A = this chain, B = another copy of it.
């Protein structure tokens, strides 16, 4: 049960975060991306990721790898995506593939096979998905989660400035669209809860919207949250407190640019700077959240 594993790792490391490997070529130190072909770019990016993983795997529980940054280099980039997933896994990290996949049932089952099966296409532990199509676009994923001990994070309230345009609209029944999506997420996860009380269906809830997070944390008792928005997107520790339960469980906070580009602010080696940024983030979060200690 992947959210048990994730929560256990978070408690052991007292660090509810994931390193976001949204690795853009321009984040790399000068000279590291010397070649110009897609293959050169992909190799440089994987090399960078590998060093960041080596420098942080003992202090962070998980990584989130955003596929868009790899797709822009074609299938060469996706080889680097694959290599990154595999390498992170080999270091004992829980691997989140951030791909926000969505489609009708027949097609969703192909995505589920690609990301949540053990046949080594782009195998990951948890996949982000978009629930706009309703249940039959989600069930193929939850079936795979149950069969293979995997998880999904469904977009509920996203961290971007315009997320409210649709998500905050009020429905006739008094709920907002994001509350409605939250209720669907809770229903999709029913009957799959692990030792910490979280189902295999998690939710993406942006740290940039603390009020909405508060509403959702109360409403979604059995749902683990993936929380983007810390750092470069503007959210601080105080803002994302609402994503956690009182015992400090139930959420993992992502930081991408703040870790990958830490060396640009701090100077020195990028891998060492990434580690220092992870330690700072951990201290910042724990200072606000207190000790993470599930009952």
Choose the segment among A177-185, A241-249, A262-270 that binds chain B (4+ C-beta atoms closer than 8 Å): A177-185
Q: Does A72 contact B (CB under 8 A)?
A: yes
Considering the complex, give the chain B residue whose CB is closest to the CB of A115.
Answer: B71
Q: Does A258 contact B (CB under 8 A)?
A: no
Query: When the two chains form their complex, are residues A122 and B71 in contact, meaning their CB atoms are under 8 A apart?
Result: yes
Please give the distance in Å from A83's CB to the nearest CB on chain B. Answer: 10
Query: When the two chains form their complex, are residues B75 and A75 in contact, meaning their CB atoms are under 8 A apart?
Result: yes
Please measure, in the bound complex, the distance between the C-alpha atom of A136 and the C-alpha atom of B120, giving whole angstroms: 34
Q: Does A121 contact B (CB under 8 A)?
A: yes
Copies in the complex: 2
Considering the complex, give the chain B residue whose CB is closest to the CB of A42.
Answer: B75
Provide the A2-28 mask, 1 if CB < 8 A to any CB of B, else 0. 000000000000000000001010000
Query: When the two chains form their complex, are residues B71 and A114 in contact, meaning their CB atoms are under 8 A apart?
Result: yes
- Interface CB pairs A-B, < 8 A, 29: A38-B121, A68-B101, A68-B107, A68-B108, A69-B110, A71-B110, A71-B111, A73-B121, A74-B82, A74-B114, A74-B121, A75-B82, A77-B121, A100-B101, A100-B102, A104-B228, A105-B160, A131-B166, A132-B132, A132-B166, A132-B167, A133-B160, A134-B163, A134-B167, A136-B161, A166-B184, A169-B173, A171-B172, A177-B177
B contact residues around A68 at 8 Å (CB): 101, 103, 107-108, 110-111, 114
Q: Tell me the residues in window 128-158 of chain A with beta carbons closer than 8 Å to chain B beta carbons.
A: 130-137, 155, 158
B contact residues around A173 at 8 Å (CB): 169
Query: When the two chains form their complex, are residues A136 and B110 in contact, meaning their CB atoms are under 8 A apart?
Result: no
Q: Does A90 contact B (CB under 8 A)?
A: no
B contact residues around A124 at 8 Å (CB): none
Query: When the two chains form their complex, are residues A71 and B121 in contact, meaning their CB atoms are under 8 A apart?
Result: yes
Q: Does A66 contact B (CB under 8 A)?
A: yes
Please give the distance in Å from A130's CB to the nearest CB on chain B. Answer: 5
Query: When the two chains form their complex, are residues B155 and A133 in contact, meaning their CB atoms are under 8 A apart?
Result: yes
Please measure, in the bound complex, the distance between the C-alpha atom of A79 and the C-alpha atom of B22, giving whole angstroms: 22
Please measure, in the bound complex, the distance between the C-alpha atom of A147 and the C-alpha atom of B90, giving whole angstroms: 42
Q: Does A159 contact B (CB under 8 A)?
A: yes
Interface centre among A110, A184, A233 (most CB of B within 10 A): A110
B contact residues around A73 at 8 Å (CB): 121
Q: Does A164 contact B (CB under 8 A)?
A: yes
Pick the residue among B132, B165, B167 that contacts A135 (CB under 8 A): B165
Please measure, in the bound complex, the distance between the C-alpha atom of A110 and the C-alpha atom of B113, giving whole angstroms: 24
